[in-house]
Chains A and B, each alone.
Chain A
Amino acid sequence: MRETVFQRVFAFVVGWGVAILLFFPIAWMVLTSFKSEVDAITPRLTFTPTLSSYAEVLSRADYLSFALNSVVVSVGGTVLALLFAIPAAYSMAFHPTQRTRGTLLWMLSTKMLPPVGVLVPIYILARDSALLDTRTVLVIMYALANLPIVVWMLFTFYKEVPKDILEAGRMDGARTVSEVWYLLLPLTLPGVASTGLLSLILCWNEAFWSLNLTTSSAAPLTAFIASFSSPQGLFFAKLSAASTMAVAPILVFGWFSQRQLVRGLTFGAVK
């Protein structure tokens, strides 16, 4: 089908419009981070760029320790989720029972509950297990919170693998572990990678549990950002500088892995 000029212009305008709309807050945040606090409360585009906010933020908090926490809990949560999700999705995709469908839907339904609804019990559990303000509690929480989406994505990727290939593997002498390791994982590696990437990003940006379950020693970058919001005084520029520093690593990471991500996010849509 040939596009008409109108269709091309329309696609151009809509495409760029949506992109700019989505990118605007991030651009504005970056812009604000280079303003002085006085300039930051005005929407002016002309200002004298300054690094004073960055200097202030870095002098008040240990960015690297927050960043390290973010890396550890994101990677930890993702790896833990994958460790559980890979066998779970394998069993549901290739050995389904009558309850498989229901289990999948039930897993998804846990995402419909607002996290704050279980805040008190989780907090008490963490406190009584002496896990408050530890990376461990965040790793566990992130793994559990992402498990439904990770299982669902892997399940969808696994479903695309022809059953015959795994059966051929079984005839060749593969037991479940070798079947998954030598056949299923290599065949679905792009899918597993994009699932992991998405989980990493979700963990990195998660704020609710990190703010409620950690205070200082295990606090990731989301807590770092929040610490620059204050009820009085001017803080927009410092907050923006902190936010920019917090999202920069994952933005760069996302940029390099965007092909995998697009495949992951449109899973099921295209074969």
Chain B
Amino acid sequence: MATLTLRDLRKSYGPAHVIKGIDLDVLEREFVVFVGPSGCGKSTLLRMIAGLEDITSGELQIDGRRVNDVGPADRGLAMVFQSYALYPHMTVRQNMGFALRLARVPKAERDRKVNEAARILQLEPYLERRPKDLSGGQRQRVAIGRSIVRDPKVFLFDEPLSNLDAALRGQMRMELLRLHEDLNATMIYVTHDQVEAMTMADKIVVLQAGLVEQVGSPLELYHHPTNLFVAGFIGSPRMNLMPARVVEVTGSGVTVALPSGGQVTVPTSASGVRQGDTITLGVRPEGLHVDSAGQIAGEVKLVERLGGLTLLHVTSGVDLALTVQIEGSDATRAHETVHLSIDTAACHLFDKAGLALPRLVRHPMAA
């Protein structure tokens, strides 16, 4: 297993800058997820690590050795592609053994490794089939098997589950996690699916427009987003954002006035904001509660009942849209008027530049 170091990594296609200087350390046995909206450069970054794309500038190190100019064949990494990219003219056994065959590993050892990988992935009955005779989930497992067999320094995954249906995706997620544990492997995983990111990652790297927005554990990003982009991107349903005005700044927090009237004191440091500043208040859907004494009044426009959860889509004032998440099956109906209270411990404040004011108390789970 290996460590990976990215230093000011950049990629341009002519005048178009795609990756604009990325610094990152991937530790041994870490499961790192690159997440971001389409076109943020996450796949390009992964392909640069793989060696399939040139690095325009900056440095990429594997185990402390610079590998910018080392070809993909010699980096010792394995990649699982979104399209699986199995070799259609080879059987499952040949697909999984191809890398070993290229490395001139003796046949007996090759077979042993392929059989072992097939056992781990429950592919034993299919070893003599060709990819076209397999289902999507099986093909996916073959693609993973192909990388396991090689015992690579780092596993790279490029949106590997996005071609599977929802049920299979959930199952494969668990299998990948189990694999990560069993193999003690360093893995880098690209996805646009934040459920995958949240559930699998040791460390999430949020990318936007070729830059890192934030790096941290899933709960760190959830409870302590450093900026508006991460706050909005991580978490589903999205964080509610509303404009507010700073009323008072004290050592125990920042007091802001809500657009609907009323005030809340949010326990954040004041860094740079002054009384009278306009600021953005962020509160996650589970931080709003239906409460007859609440400060925010609004009309329920739509109710989404998920069984275990109920989502209320509330409009307050002229155009402030809020989402409220309630545990269980709530009885509130559309077009009712509700009052909402805010759980101040769950609030975030963002200054004009979109940067979060650091919260005074760290969430216990967000080490």
What residues make up the interface of A, taking CB atoms closer than 8 Å to B? 162, 164-165, 167-175, 178, 182-183, 186-187
Contact = CB atoms under 8 A, between A and B. Distances in A.
Given A162-B83, A162-B85, A170 B72 contact: yes
A172 B98 contact: yes
Contacts of A175: 71, 73
A170 B72 CA distance: 6
B87 A174 contact: no
Contact of A182 (B79, B86, B98, B150): B98
Given A178-B102, A186-B89, A171 B83 contact: no
Given A171-B72, A171-B78, 12 more contacts: A164-B85, A165-B87, A168-B87, A170-B51, A172-B73, A172-B102, A173-B73, A174-B102, A182-B98, A183-B87, A187-B87, A187-B89
B85 A165 contact: yes
A168 B88 contact: no
B92 interface: no
Contact of B52 (A170, A182, A183): A170
Contacts of A165: 85-88
Contacts of B233: none
Contacts of B79: 167-168, 171
Interface in B79-130: 79, 81, 83, 85-89, 98-99, 102-103
Interface residues of B, number: 23
Interface string B125-160: 000000000000000000000100010000000000
A170 B71 contact: yes
Nearest to A183: B87
27 contacts: A162-B83, A164-B85, A165-B87, A167-B81, A168-B81, A168-B85, A168-B146, A169-B98, A170-B52, A170-B71, A170-B73, A171-B52, A171-B72, A171-B73, A171-B77, A171-B79, A172-B73, A172-B102, A173-B73, A173-B74, A173-B102, A173-B103, A173-B150, A175-B73, A182-B98, A182-B102, A187-B88
B16 to A, nearest CB: 15
Given A167-B52, A168-B79, A173 B99 contact: yes
Contacts, number: 59
Contacts of B161: none
Contacts of A170: 51-52, 71-73
Contacts of B81: 164, 167-168
A193 to B, nearest CB: 14
A168 B99 CA distance: 10
